[in-house]
Amino acid sequence: MKISISDLKYNEKVVYGLRSLYKKYGYTQYKMSKFEEYDLYVRNKDFLMSDSIITFTDTNGKLMALKPDITLSIIKKSKDIPGFVQKFYYNENVYRVSKGTNTFKEIMQMGLECIGDLDDYCLSEVLILAAKSLKSISKNAILDVSHLGILSAFFDAAEIDEETRTQLTEYISEKNLSAICKTCAQKGIGKEKTDMLKKLVTLYGPAGEVMPKLRRIADGFKDKTPFEQLEKIINAAGDEYKDMIRIDFSVVSDMKYYNGIIFKGFIKGIPTSVVSGGQYDHMMQRMGRKSGAIGFAVYLDMLERLKVSQFKYDEDIVLIYDKNTDIKTLKKAVEELSQDGRSVTAQRQLPAKLTYRQLAKIQDGEVKILETND
C-alpha cells in the first residue's frame, strides 16, 4: 500500500502522543527482535488474531517465526516478582494476514502490558489509558467494556458444560438472542436463567444508565464480586469518560485465556475495533506463570482509514518569513504558535504540495494570518 506524506504525519503524531502518554504513567518501552521460536505461537494459536504465521528455519535448525503478536513475547521474557507490578509499552511491527487484503502485511502496533500482583487500581489505570488513547486519536470514540467474571458466574450457576459455554459465548458476541434461547432450551437451562442471560446480552450504554439495571441482575447471583469490581473500575475513570465508556456484554473473548475486565475501542469512521484488550490471567497460568496481567493493543493500520480533520494536514501552520526577518522575532513567533501542541514550519516560501491548516506571515514583527482552511 502506498502511504502518503499525510498518512505518515498522522501516524507519527499518534505514535508520539501515545508514547508520551504511556511514559507519563510509568510504563517503560519494551524492545524485541522481529522473530521468536515458532513453538511459542503454535502452542497458543487460539490466542492469536490469525493462525497464519510466517516461518523460516534458523542456521541452528530451529523453526522461527516473524512475530504475529507482542503479548506472548512479553509474557515469555517477563518474570514473576511477588508484590511487584511490571509496566511495559511497545511500538513494534507485527506480521500477519491483513483483513482487508487477505495477504501478509507488516503492521505497526502500539500497546501496553501490566503484569504482576494486580489490584483494582492497576485494572482501572489500564482501562483509563485505553480511553485516553482513543480520545487522543479522535473525540468521536467509545470504549465498550465487559466483565467475563459475570458471564462465568452465570455459566457456573447454570452448570453449563464447556462446549455449551463456547457456543453461547459466540452467540453472545453476535447478540444472537434466538440462537441463545434455542441453545438454552436444548441444554435444559430454565426460563429464569435464560431470561437473565438475555437481559445481560441486551444491556448497553453508559455506566450511569446501565449499572442500576445490572445491580438488579446481580441480586440473582450468590457471588456479586465481579459486578462490584466492574462498577468500581468504571467509576474510577470519573466524569471525563462517563459518556465515552459503555457497558456491553457482547464484548467477549476466549475464556481459556481471558478473565475479568475486557474491552474494545471504536472510532467513528472505522467499522472494526481500533483498541482491544483485557485481563488475561488464564493465559499467564497456561504459560506456567503466577502473575496476573492486563493490557491492550492499538491497531495503527486501522487508522489509515480514518480521515480526521485534526490530522488531515501535513502541518497545522506554515509561517512565511523573509531574509530581513529578525531571528529572535521568528523564534518567538514559532514558540508562541506551537505552545498549544500545533505543528509549525517556518519557511521562506510556501513548499509545493504541502497541506496546512493555516498560512501565516511575519510582517512588521507581527504574525498575520493569511489563510485558514478549517
- Residue 24 carries which DSSP code? H
Cβ neighbour number for residue 193 with a 10 Å cutoff: 17
Residue with cell 436444548: 186
Joined grid coordinates for residue 156:
457456573
Q: How does pLDDT run across 72-125, given as a tens digit for each residue? A: 888 888 889 899 999 999 998 877 776 656 677 777 889 999 999 999 999 999
Average pLDDT over residues 285-311: 79
DSSP annotation string for 32-47? --SEEEHHHHHTTGGG
Q: How does pLDDT run across 200-223, given as a tens digit for each residue? A: 999 999 988 999 999 998 888 888
Q: Minimal CA–CA distance to 295: which of 285, 309, 281?
A: 281
Q: CA dist 117 to 70, 79, 82, 86, 267, Å?
A: 21, 11, 7, 9, 32
Q: Show Cβ contacts of residue 288 under 8 Å, excluding neighbours closer than 6 positions.
A: none
Stretch among 226-240, 297-311, 338-352 having the lowest mean pLDDT: 297-311
For residue 289, give the amino acid letter: R
Q: Cα angle vertex 186, ends 185, 192, to 5°?
A: 25
Q: Show Cβ contacts of residue 349 under 8 Å, excluding neighbours closer than 6 positions.
A: 320
CA 311 centroid distance within chain = 20
What's the rounded Cα separation, in Å, for the pair 374 and 371? 9
Residue 5 pLDDT grade (very low, low, confident, very high; cuts 50, 70, 90): very low
Joined grid coordinates for residue 234:
468504571
Q: Minimal CA–CA distance to 221: which of 121, 152, 172?
A: 152
pLDDT at 3 (0 to 100): 40
Residue 60 has pLDDT above 70, yes or no: yes
Cβ neighbour number for residue 129 with a 10 Å cutoff: 24
Residue 311 has pLDDT above 60, yes or no: no
- Out of 3.40.140.10, 3.30.930.10, 3.40.50.720, 3.30.70.360, select the CATH number for domain 141-257: 3.30.930.10
In the chain, CATH 3.30.930.10 sits at 1-137+268-312, 141-257
What's the rounded Cα separation, in Å, for the pair 260 and 226? 7
Strands 275-279 and 259-267: antiparallel
- Contact in structure between 184 and 165 (CB atoms under 8 Å): no
Q: CA dist 257 to 41, 47, 282, 349, Å?
A: 14, 7, 5, 57
What's the rounded Cα separation, in Å, for the pair 60 and 62? 6
pLDDT at 69 (0 to 100): 82
| Most confident among 25-29, 69-73, 286-290, 315-319 (mean pLDDT) | 25-29
Q: Is 248 exposed, middle or buried (0-12, 13-18, 19+ CB in 10 A)?
A: buried
* DSSP SS3 for 364: coil
Q: At the top level of CATH, which class does the domain 1-137+268-312 belong to? A: alpha beta
- Tell which wins on pLDDT, 136 or 44: 136
Strands 85-97 and 275-279: unpaired
pLDDT at 98 (0 to 100): 65
pLDDT at 45 (0 to 100): 73
